[in-house]
């Protein structure tokens, strides 16, 4: 490692600390939840405004920017990008859209604050903080006059959380870099990502008129922390007799005699569901075990209860694991009732060596037994970057040297833009060993403070340390053939 170079980068990053924080806050203030149904296309006013603010920020620092029809933005530190060859370009990719807010926030999700070393607000950690941070990496290298053999460009998208149609649009219309790195993961190199399958399990016959409504979940990739059902008639009477407020959640009777039962769980990213409590499953199990449903509704509900009883798809018959990527995960994350027909949305992350068609064939067999139908909404094949590419060991070794770690390149269940790009892998900015300051922090309630959770918080010192590593990593790639 070039210690003199690291010291220069360290000094530059620390000097620009407050500026970095304020720039992240500029983006976190914008509620950029992707919504293609809004009048402002392609993803709604929030995403349009966040992209515009990011490009404006880049222009203030001398970047040449481009807006690709509201899907993706690009920031170059080149005088003229017309003659820049993508064949010698490293692209950094981040996203500006965020997951829905969810429930149980202590702090205002779109009024960011800095407290006890954390910047708190929806999107601060995933992925607006890293997006601004990558702009600072390029600024740092440029302003320090460090010679680079590759062109650098920061790309920012607006639909990562909802399905990555932004990159589908971009790759269909524009050239991609020779090598792409996605700063939306943990260190060191993530060279593979599980496949993603999203679909709806829908009953073939309606529930009885006793069931007024069922709701729970806000996004496909979040384990729901709240679920509720409103019932009437005999079902309401059974609910009032069997359920107690102290043990089972919130049980309320409205003026017309309907009974609403609400239960709470703990949310996490659906790619890493271990340790969460799925509120939908908790609600269904509560009603089933106490025989709140009538006989016919209980029979219709049984398949939905079984399909969502664990995080590995046992009832579906899709349990699978491989040495490269580990276990398949399956979670029912959103539930609704339309015209009496129950629908439960599933987010499935399947191992790299598994096949989508094999998963679907097993799910369809399950549906035949339980009088329901599974319809695919979205599928994304696994991503695999050649583990033997010299960039993998180059960046991993540098990370270990800088941090004193003994980390290995890895594969994960999360999905990043890497799956939509050729020659792409995820690298940082998370995954650093927790400091004493983080471990002793009492700022967040349990199941709060992480990405996709209430009170999402970005550990500022951790981000700045990651940006120093990233800056050194870019220089280390000078001698790597893209």
Reported as a single tens digit per residue, the pLDDT across 111-155 is 999 999 999 999 999 999 999 999 999 999 999 999 999 999 999
Domain count, the chain: 2
Looking at the structure, tell me whether residues 320 and 232 fall in a common domain.
yes
Looking at the structure, tell me whether residues 355 and 408 fall in a common domain.
no
**Residue 467's closest CA among 438, 430, 435, 439?**
430
Looking at the structure, tell me whether residues 417 and 306 fall in a common domain.
no
* CATH number of 274's domain: 3.30.70.360
Looking at the structure, tell me whether residues 200 and 164 fall in a common domain.
no
Q: What is the spatial distance between Cα 233 and Cα 235, in angstroms, rounded to a whole number?
A: 5
What per-residue confidence (pLDDT) applies to 446? 87
Residue 292 has pLDDT above 60, yes or no: yes
Looking at the structure, tell me whether residues 271 and 174 fall in a common domain.
no
Residue 249 has pLDDT above 90, yes or no: no
Band (pLDDT 50/70/90 cuts) for residue 240 is confident
Looking at the structure, tell me whether residues 163 and 258 fall in a common domain.
no
Helix, strand or coil, per DSSP, at residue 306: helix
What per-residue confidence (pLDDT) applies to 44? 98
Looking at the structure, tell me whether residues 96 and 55 fall in a common domain.
yes
Task: Note down the domain range covering 152.
Answer: 3-194+383-479
End residue of a domain, out of 336, 362, 380: 380
This prediction's pTM: 0.82
Helix, strand or coil, per DSSP, at residue 419: helix
Looking at the structure, tell me whether residues 374 and 394 fall in a common domain.
no
Q: Among 242-246, 392-396, 442-446, which stretch is predicted with the lowest mean pLDDT? A: 242-246
What per-residue confidence (pLDDT) applies to 11? 98
What per-residue confidence (pLDDT) applies to 247? 60
| Beta-bridge partner residues of 457 | 120
Band (pLDDT 50/70/90 cuts) for residue 246 is very low
What per-residue confidence (pLDDT) applies to 215? 97
Find the distance separating the first CA and the last CA of the chain, reported in whole Å.
21
Looking at the structure, tell me whether residues 305 and 336 fall in a common domain.
yes
How much is the average pLDDT of 396-410?
A: 96
Residue with tokens 């990651």: 466
End residue of a domain, out of 360, 380, 400: 380
* CATH number of 30's domain: 3.40.630.10
Looking at the structure, tell me whether residues 423 and 374 fall in a common domain.
no
Residue 186 has pLDDT above 50, yes or no: yes
**pLDDT tens for each residue of 27-86:** 999 999 999 999 999 999 999 999 999 999 999 999 999 999 999 999 998 765 666 778
Mean pLDDT of the chain: 94
Pairing of strands 226-231, 211-216: antiparallel
End residue of a domain, out of 380, 408, 427: 380
Looking at the structure, tell me whether residues 359 and 473 fall in a common domain.
no
Looking at the structure, tell me whether residues 390 and 253 fall in a common domain.
no
Residue 323 has pLDDT above 80, yes or no: yes
Residue 431 has pLDDT above 60, yes or no: yes
């Amino acid at each position: 490692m070039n210690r003199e170079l690291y010291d220069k980068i360290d000094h530059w990053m620390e000097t620009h600390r407050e500026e970095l924080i304020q720039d992240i806050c500029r983006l976190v203030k914008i509620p950029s939840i992707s919504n293609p149904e809004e009048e402002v296309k392609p993803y709604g006013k929030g995403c349009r405004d966040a992209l515009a603010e990011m490009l404006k920020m880049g222009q203030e620092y001398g970047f040449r920017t481009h807006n690709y029809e509201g899907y993706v933005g690009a920031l170059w530190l080149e005088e003229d990008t017309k003659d820049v060859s993508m064949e010698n370009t490293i692209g950094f990719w981040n996203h500006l859209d965020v997951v829905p807010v969810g429930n149980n926030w202590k702090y205002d999700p779109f009024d960011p604050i800095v407290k006890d070393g954390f910047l708190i607000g929806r999107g601060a950690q995933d992925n607006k903080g890293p997006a601004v941070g990558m702009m600072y990496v390029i600024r740092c290298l440029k302003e320090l006059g460090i010679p680079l053999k590759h062109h650098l460009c920061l790309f920012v998208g607006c639909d990562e959380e909802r399905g990555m149609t932004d990159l589908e649009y971009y790759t269909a219309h524009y050239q991609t870099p020779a090598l792409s790195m996605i700063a939306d993961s943990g260190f060191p190199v993530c060279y593979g990502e599980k496949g993603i399958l999203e679909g709806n399990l829908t009953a073939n016959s309606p529930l009885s008129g006793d069931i007024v409504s069922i709701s729970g979940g806000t996004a496909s990739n979040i384990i729901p922390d709240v679920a509720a059902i409103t019932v009437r008639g005999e079902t309401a009477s059974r609910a009032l007799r069997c359920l107690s407020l102290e043990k089972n959640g919130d049980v309320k009777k409205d003026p017309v005699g309907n009974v609403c039962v609400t239960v709470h769980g703990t949310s996490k990213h659906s790619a890493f569901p271990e340790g969460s409590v799925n509120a939908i499953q908790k609600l269904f199990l509560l009603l089933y075990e106490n025989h709140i449903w009538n006989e016919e509704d209980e029979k219709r509900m049984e398949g939905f209860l079984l399909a969502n009883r664990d995080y590995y798809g046992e009832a579906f018959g899709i349990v699978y694991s491989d040495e490269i990527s580990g276990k398949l995960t399956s979670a029912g994350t959103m539930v609704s009732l339309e015209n009496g027909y129950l629908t439960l949305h599933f987010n499935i992350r399947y191992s790299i060596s598994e096949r989508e068609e094999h998963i679907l064939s097993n799910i369809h067999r399950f549906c035949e037994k339980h009088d329901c139908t599974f319809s695919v909404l979205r599928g994304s094949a696994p991503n695999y970057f050649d583990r033997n590419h010299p960039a993998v060991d180059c960046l991993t070794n540098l990370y270990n040297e800088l941090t004193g770690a003994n980390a290995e390149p890895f594969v994960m269940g999360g999905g990043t833009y890497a799956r939509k790009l050729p020659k792409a892998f995820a690298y940082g900015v998370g995954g650093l060993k927790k400091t004493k300051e983080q471990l002793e922090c009492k700022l967040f309630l349990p199941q709060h403070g992480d990405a996709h959770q209430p009170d999402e918080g970005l550990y500022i010192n951790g981000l700045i340390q990651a940006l120093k590593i990233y800056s050194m990593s870019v220089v280390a790639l000078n001698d790597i053939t893209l």
